[in-house]
Amino acid sequence: MAVSAVAVPELRPLHFLQALIYVAVVILARRNNVFALGAGFTIAVAWNCLEFFGPHLMQAGGVIFWSFLHTGQVQHLETMMVPIGGIGHFILIIACLTALFHQTTDTKKWWKFVGGGALVLGYFALIVAIGRPR
């Protein structure tokens, strides 16, 4: 997100607000908060789905990276970073699910997991409405 924020200044507010999600997920997940696990899982799945089925930036970033390997010239650095975010999201999905399944003391973990997912989707919709470039 930092590379995109530098390369595309219009995305800075949106990426700053989106980064807060990941900071909160890391801090709260380290405290075994199941809401954070649901939020991390959901935002990762939502973002990857948007990129795979929406503007296909993950695929375009892979093509641009492959072109960079062959030519040595960087075109659209921000698009080339999208697959890195996608890989990070796959890691986040696996990590959240692993941590969830290791939660043995919480009897309402699934409700909290789903609740964290719902909260992060609401926040994500809000920040897209507020922070997207016009």
Return the domain boundaries, the chain. 19-131
Tens digit of pLDDT for each residue in 49-78? 998 888 888 889 889 989 999 998 988 888
Q: Which residues contact 20 (CB under 8 A, 6 or more apart)?
A: none
- For residue 40, pLDDT over 90 is answered with yes
Which among 35, 41, 1, 36 has a CA at the least distance from the CA of 18? 1
- The answer on pLDDT for 28 being more than 90 is yes
Q: What is the overall mean pLDDT for the chain?
A: 91
Write the pLDDT tens digit of every residue in 78-128.
888 889 999 999 999 999 999 999 988 778 999 999 999 999 999 999 999
The one-letter amino acid at 121: L
78 or 19: which carries more pLDDT confidence? 19
Nearby residues of 33 by Cβ (< 8 Å), 6 or more positions away: none
pLDDT higher than 90, residue 9: no
